[in-house]
A and B are shown apart, each in its own frame.
Chain A
Amino acid sequence: QDEVTLRWGHYLPNSPFLEVEQNFAKKIAERTDGKVKIEITYAGGLGKGNELMTLAGRGAIDMASIVPGYYADQLLFIRAFQIPFVFDTPAEAMTLSRNSFAEIPAFSEELDKFNVKFLFHQPLGQYYLTGPDENCDTVAGLKDKKIRSFGADIPKLHAAVGAVPVSIGVGDIYEALQRGTLDYSFINPGNIVTNRFYEPGKFSCGPVMAITGHLITIGKRAWDKLTPETQAIFMEEAKVSQQAYLDWIDAFESKAVEDIQANGGVVKPFPDAELAKWKDMAPDLLGDWVKDMEGRGLGDEAQKVYDQWHAWLGR
C-alpha cells in the first residue's frame, strides 16, 4: 500500500459523539502502519450535510458521513432506516441495517450510483420528549402540544396524536422551550445533556422511538486507490466499528440519562401501553414508504424490503 491521506468530510462539529468514528480512523492508520492516514474535517469545513455525498462521489473528498434525510430523492431505500416506529431499539435498527446491506442488493446499489461505498452505520440514541410540563408520558397529554419535528415522517407521527409539529433547528430549541414557543423537544439524551435542555425542560419522557443516523462511506475513487489487503482491513474495521458504535451508544445514552437526573432533570418512562396506543394511532409509515416507491416504479422491490424487514423483526 502506497502512502495516502484520506480526507473525511463530516457535517458535525468535533464532539464526544464521534468517538467511534475517530477510533475507526485511528485503527486504520495503526493496521496499515501509518500508510493510510485519515483526516476528519468537522462542522462542514469541506462540505455541508447536503453536499457531502456528491463531493465524495465525485472525488472532491475521500470519505463522507452522509445523512439520508438530505438525499430523500436519491437514497430511496436507505431513507427507510429513518422512518419512525419501525424499530424499537438502536440494536434492532443496527441489526436490520447489517442484514439489509448484506442481503438486499438495492441498498448498496443506490450508493453505487453515487460512486460511494458503505462502510458502517451510525446508531442514534432513542428519542425523548423534553419540556417543562410533566405530562409527557401519555398520548392524551401530547394533544395540542407543540413538539419539535424534522424531516418528512416525524411530523406525521406527532400529528397522529393531535400534537403540533414545529420545524426548528437544534440551535433554537433551548430558547424555544424556555419561551414556550415549543412545549417539548424531541431528541436523544446525549443531545439533551450537550444542549442543557433539562434547564428549560425539566421533564423528559421516553424512550419513544429509535431510528438510525448517518452512513459512514468512502468514495469509489479513494477505494480503488487502496490495495485489496487494505480494503479487507477497511471492511473488517467497519464491521468492528458498527458493533462498537452500538455498544458505545447504549453506554453513552445511559450515562446521559444519569447526567440529566444529576442536573435536576426528571426522566419518566413512556409506558408500553401508551406507546402501543401511539403506534395504533400513527399511520403505517413504512407502508406509506412502499406506496411512495410504487409511484417511482420501485414498488416490488420496496414491498420485498417491507416483508423482509417484518420477517426479521418478527412482527
Chain B
Amino acid sequence: MVLFSGILRRLALTILLIGGVGTMAAMFLGTIEVVGTQILHTPVPGALELTESTMVLIVFGALCYAQIRRSHIRVELIYTNMGPRVRAGMDVFADLCGLVFFCLLLWQAYNEALYSLQIGEATVGLIRFPLYPARIILAVGTAMLILQLCLDLITDIRRIIDGSEIVLAEDYDPTRPQGTD
C-alpha cells in the first residue's frame, strides 16, 4: 500500500503540473492577446477558447493532490470537538460519500470523454483546438481521486481501530497555504 500510494502521489503531482503549465499557458496567451489586440492590432486567434479549456486542466488535474493534502473544505464544527476515533469514523463516512459522488461523476465523465473523442470535438474559433484532452483529464483526474479516496478509506478505518491521527504527506509545507474564497 505504501508503494501504491507513493506511485499515486507521483501521478497526482504530474497531472497537477500539467494543469499548472496549462494555467501558465493561459497566462501567457491572455497577455499576448491583450498586447496583440490593443497595441499591435493583431489578436491571437482562439485565445479566448483556449483560456476556457485550460481551466478544466487545473481543476481536475489538482483534484487528487488536493485530497492527498486533505484540503477539501468541510464543516468542522463537530469534527474538531471529537476524539480521534470518532473523527476517524467521520472521515470514513466522508470518504464513502466522496466515493459515491465521484464514481457517479466518473461514470458520466467517461461517456462524455469517449463521445468527444469520437466526434473530434473542438473549440469554436478562427483556430479550432481539440476539446477531448480536457475531457479526458476530467475523467482521469476524477479516477485518480477515487483511488486516493480508497487509500484514505483504508487509512481511516485503521484509525478507528488504533485511534491514531492523520499523517499528511511529507512534502506538505504548512507555510504555503491553500483554501477557498
Which chain A residues have a beta carbon within 8 Å of chain B's beta carbons?
69-70, 72-74, 144, 146, 151-152, 155-156, 159, 164-168, 181
Contacts and interface: CB of A to CB of B under 8 A. Distances in A.
A166 B43 contact: yes
Given A69-B124, A144-B41, A152-B125, 14 more contacts: A72-B122, A72-B124, A73-B119, A73-B121, A146-B37, A152-B126, A155-B45, A159-B126, A164-B37, A164-B41, A165-B43, A165-B126, A181-B37, A181-B38
Contacts of A152: 124-126, 128
A155 B126 contact: yes
A78 to B, nearest CB: 14
B41 A146 contact: yes
A73 B120 CA distance: 7
Contacts of B49: 167
Contacts of B140: none
Contacts of A164: 37, 41-43
B64 interface: no
Contacts of B119: 73-74
A69 B38 CA distance: 27
Nearest to A168: B48
Contacts of A70: 124
Interface in B48-73: 48-49
B124 A155 contact: no
B169 to A, nearest CB: 36
Contacts of A165: 43, 126
Task: Tell me the interface secondary structure of chain A in the complex.
Answer: mixed
B153 interface: no
B131 to A, nearest CB: 8
A161 B167 CA distance: 64
B47 interface: yes
B38 A156 contact: no
Q: Interface size bucket, B side?
A: 10 to 19
A167 B41 contact: no
A159 B125 CA distance: 13
A187 B121 CA distance: 27
Interface string B83-124: 000000000000000000000000000000000000111101
Contacts of B37: 146, 164, 166, 181
17 contacts: A72-B122, A73-B120, A146-B37, A146-B41, A152-B124, A152-B125, A155-B125, A155-B126, A164-B37, A164-B41, A164-B43, A166-B37, A167-B47, A167-B49, A167-B125, A168-B48, A181-B38
A121 B128 CA distance: 27
B126 A156 contact: yes
A165 B36 CA distance: 11
Nearest to A146: B37
Contacts of B42: 164
Contacts of A151: 124-125
Interface string B119-162: 11110111010000000000000000000000000000000000
Contacts of B48: 167-168
A73 B41 CA distance: 30
Contacts of B41: 144, 146, 164
| Complex A-B, nearest 8 residue pairs according to Cβ-Cβ distance, in ascending order | A167-B48, A155-B126, A73-B121, A72-B124, A73-B119, A152-B124, A164-B41, A151-B124
Contacts of A181: 37-38
A74 B120 CA distance: 10
Contacts of B38: 181
Contacts of A159: 126
A73 to B, nearest CB: 5
B60 to A, nearest CB: 17
B15 to A, nearest CB: 24
B118 to A, nearest CB: 10
A176 B43 CA distance: 15
Interface string B13-51: 000000000000000000000000110011101011100
A181 B35 CA distance: 11
A70 B37 CA distance: 25
Nearest to B127: A152
Contact of A73 (B43, B47, B122, B125): B122
Contacts of B122: 72-73
